[in-house]
Chain A
Amino acid sequence: MNAAARRTHTKAQHGSERATRGIQKFIPRPIQRRVQQSLISLVLILGLITLVVGVVRGGLHLAELRPEQVTLDELPSALMLSLMRVVSSYIASLFFSFVLGLLAARTRLGEKIIIPILDILQSVPVVGFFPAAIAFFIGIFQGHRFGVELAAAFLIFTSQAWNMAFAVYEATKTIPQDNFDAVASFGVKGPQRFWKLYAPACVPRLVYNSILSWSNGWYFLVACEIIAIGNIKYHLPGIGSFLALAAEQNQAKLVIWGLISLTTLVLGVDALVWRPLSAWAERFRQDYTTTPTPQGDAGSVWNLPSNLVLQLYRKLRPMRRMTWRMIRILFFPLTWLVREILGPLVWDLPVSIARGVASEIQIQLESPQSRKWRDLWESSSWLSRLVFWMVGLCAGLLFGVLLSRWLRGPWPDIARQIPLAILISTARLVAALALSLLWILPLVLYTWNKPRIRQWLMTLAQVGASLPAVALFPLIILILVKRFGGGMESASILLLLTGMQWYILFNGLSGTAIIPGDLAEAARALGLSRVQTWKRLVIPAIRPALITGMITAWGGGWNALVVSEYVAHQDEVLTVNGIGALLNQAVYQLGDGKAIGLCLAAMVAWILLLNSLIWRPLYQSAADRYKFDA
């Protein structure tokens, strides 16, 4: 066994020891080990059985949840239900982002595996995967409402999680080495290290990306609350389905009421949650490139609610401590249960399994000789071996079955249309991107040194991004195509805009926010004219942020594409030639798994190709050259 391998091996052992520490206190070690092992097997086996049975049986029993006539009475409850849906998905995303983000940032292997996967997931149109995810979840719960609910939560989750995991990853990556050393030298370990080092370091980026994720969740809510497979349609009560149904039933008044209440909710959450959080997050910044300028922005009316919340929070500090103590005493049995039993089960076990697997793979990667490999295999833990085999077996089986199914039978006709459709869709995206830049760039240049206007616009972008435009597509189409005689082509580009422009606006504005005060002052002192300042200072300074915005918009655009090239209104289908329309046809008209798979695979491949050929180099060059360092 070479030195590196030995090291990783002891690390794995250390990991499983840590995992069992919770139970250790009251159960002797050997028994505890056995209990642990049998528990895992139990969970794994039960999970597998449910999965298989669910998919096999439930897939055949899809019951339709029929949409009825919408009324205004449903609005409050719809709003609340949607809010709960987005909040719970957000919380799940938060947990997910910490686990994956930290794994990726702190382990070499994790970085190699997780980051590319996250990258793909982030740039892949989630909407395209709806049918598969829905079939899975509904299958497990056999068409029960809970399954539909879980499917929706999962879909919202997919629109929030990746972005936040990246925030954790990047923030952790940029923690100065000094801080690690300091924390290590004082012997801060485990959960304490998480709370003292990682979590605070992640706060600013995480809050920032959370705002984006939050908006994203609302945008996709509609698509998630109305779930259709073939001609079977589910709808979950919520503001998304409320809007969509009202639009479909031509109830303009209800649509407007729905929009007003949704906007109010978004603005309310922004004022009461995100703004105070952003202000609070400033404390955790580790760099201080920007010197605050003495401008009285804090006094504006808009900031009043967030200031009030912050002040209240600060005023209540003594009370808060007492409340905490009360809660702690009251919930002691529960917290004990969680800490001693549920915690090890839900958290430590998966972590130790993951660690075991990770170190196993790492060992294999690091020692090329087979003899050593065998040695390691024999000395590795029972747990990791089992997991290794099971994962391998499942993956192999799944792959074999899928591949054989795929290769059998003729290719669908749709396959031949894919290349052209992808090109047309790309052209459409480029057009939408150009249109967005056309109105956003002048606006950003105009407002770069006007922080108050910028604040307003940021809020506008956030609200705009969270309004589920998808719900309004039928209405927009109706007005644009029917009343004004515009073609479906222009309508689909307009629809794309609703899913793309806000990212560019948001990022462009935040790019201007980080222009260091002394550079802006230097430009003024040198007497640069307005145009010269734009050319020499503002445009170069916002380039990285703008490109980030464009990349995000591009990703969001592919998502929007799927819903904007194919719009069903009442009994009519309006469509243009494009990959999104093709995908929809495959799902709704053909119901052909192979066609869906081909469309998705082609689209994903194309997106990844463009990312690595265009966006990544572009971003890299901008980030290298146009960053503030002095």
Chain B
Amino acid sequence: MPNGPTLFQFEHVTQKFTLPQGDVTVLRDIHFEAKEGEFIAIVGPSGAGKSTILRLINGLLQPTEGRILYKGQPQRDINLEAAMVFQNFALLPWLTVAQNVELGLEARGIEPHARRKKAAFYIDKVGLDGYEEAYPRELSGGMKQRVGLARALAVEPEVLLMDEPFSALDALTSINLRDELIDIWSDRDIPVNTVVMVTHMIEEAIELADRVLVLSSRPGHIAGDLRIELPRPRDKRDKQFSEYVDRIFSLIA
């Protein structure tokens, strides 16, 4: 995979939360850099701080120690060049599909006509053409997540963040959506080319990503960083594929 210049880097980032029981260290000394055009998957057991890394990239959290550089600049606020797809969709129930997709564009001050056009384009790309005026509750889980994806894509982010995007869906739906995600990622009409995805499913990570960051838990730290050198489309029954699975398993355990 062609990798461009560095997009963002974590410099010895440690993250602590204050809980009633006291301080908890969620991430310890996370240090890595991501290149433009990479598809990175972060895998690890639950509680390893996978989602926290995404929230740090997005600027929803600020690191307790260390710093995060985005295109060489220290990041201090919400990163508007990033867009997140949430595990439980996080769609506003009182807005239609189109209004939900337009939300990020509205936040960026794009005028109504242009944002309607852009929203329509991405709604079409995720295969929801004709559902513009539907409300989230009228959609199935898979369709809701397509709206979530379209909403993130519509702002044309430099980095697409995905927080266990398929874990709330049934198996068949998530297979379909995974295939479509790869299509979208390689679609030249869509400018998004860097993806960071969090998952707890090792197979999903190997199937989709160029690079897998393996987190170990309590406190979360990077236990492994490996490139997946397999041609696409990837086959789970492939011998090399299962070798990767075994390697990641041994890193986590």
Contact = CB atoms under 8 A, between A and B. Distances in A.
B108 A630 contact: no
B104 A526 contact: yes
Interface residues of B, number: 33
B118 to A, nearest CB: 14
A516 B20 CA distance: 21
Contacts of B83: 525-526
A519 B92 contact: yes
B194 interface: no
A527 interface: yes
B20 A299 contact: yes
A630 B104 contact: no
Interface in B97-142: 103-104, 106-108, 135-137
A527 to B, nearest CB: 4
Nearest to A295: B18
A68 interface: no
A524 B93 contact: no
B86 A518 contact: yes
B226 interface: no
Given A296-B18, A525-B58, A525-B78, A630 B89 contact: yes
Contacts of B55: 521
B95 interface: yes
A630 B155 contact: no
Contacts of A625: 93-94, 135
Contacts of A298: 20
A630 B17 CA distance: 27
A629 B89 CA distance: 11
A566 B104 CA distance: 54
A525 B60 contact: yes
A522 interface: yes
Interface string A517-551: 01101111111110010001100100000000000
A347 interface: no
Interface in B56-114: 58, 60, 78, 80, 82-84, 86-95, 103-104, 106-108
A314 interface: no
A628 interface: yes
B78 A524 contact: yes
Contact of A518 (B90, B135, B155): B90
B128 to A, nearest CB: 15
A627 B87 CA distance: 19
Given A294-B19, A296-B19, A630-B136, A529 B92 contact: no
B144 interface: yes
A626 interface: yes
Contacts of B93: 625-630
A518 B137 CA distance: 17
Nearest to B81: A527
B150 to A, nearest CB: 13
Nearest to A289: B88
A519 B60 CA distance: 13
Contacts of A540: 92, 94
A529 B107 contact: yes
Nearest to B144: A630
A522 to B, nearest CB: 4
A518 B60 contact: no
Contacts of B84: 522, 525
Contacts of A532: 106-107
B173 to A, nearest CB: 15
A524 B90 CA distance: 12
A21 to B, nearest CB: 47
Contacts of B108: 527
Contacts of A527: 78, 80, 104, 107-108
Interface in A601-630: 625-630
Contacts of A529: 107
Contacts of B103: 523, 526, 528, 536
A524 B60 CA distance: 7
Interface in B198-240: none
B107 A629 contact: no
Contacts of B19: 294, 296
A296 B107 CA distance: 29
Given A296-B19, A526-B83, A528-B107, A521 B90 contact: yes
B20 A536 contact: no
A626 B137 contact: no
Contacts of B82: 525
A537 B107 CA distance: 13
A626 B136 CA distance: 11
A299 B83 CA distance: 33
Nearest to A521: B60
B140 to A, nearest CB: 11
Contact of A296 (B20, B80, B90, B155): B20
B4 to A, nearest CB: 24
A294 B60 CA distance: 13
A247 B104 CA distance: 57
Interface in B138-156: 144, 151, 155
Contact of A522 (B20, B80, B90, B137): B90
Nearest to B80: A527
Interface string B35-52: 000000000000000000
A630 B141 CA distance: 8
A511 B43 CA distance: 36
A296 B16 CA distance: 12
A522 B152 CA distance: 10
Contact of B155 (A521, A523, A526): A526
A294 B26 CA distance: 12
A299 B106 CA distance: 38
Nearest to A303: B20
Nearest to A533: B107
Nearest to A529: B107
Nearest to B54: A525
A536 B88 CA distance: 19
Nearest to A518: B90
Contacts of A523: 103
A525 to B, nearest CB: 5
Given A524-B60, A527-B104, A527-B107, A630 B88 contact: yes
A298 B19 CA distance: 8
Given A523-B103, A526-B107, A630-B91, 8 more contacts: A298-B20, A299-B20, A518-B87, A526-B155, A527-B78, A528-B103, A630-B88, A630-B93
Interface of A: 294-296, 298-299, 516, 518-519, 521-529, 532, 536-537, 540, 625-630
Interface of B: 17-20, 55, 58, 60, 78, 80, 82-84, 86-95, 103-104, 106-108, 135-137, 144, 151, 155
Sorted from nearest, which 9 A-B pairs have the closest CB atoms?
A522-B90, A298-B20, A526-B104, A296-B18, A518-B90, A294-B17, A540-B94, A527-B107, A528-B107
13 contacts: A296-B18, A299-B20, A519-B92, A521-B55, A522-B92, A523-B103, A526-B103, A528-B107, A532-B106, A625-B94, A625-B135, A628-B93, A629-B93
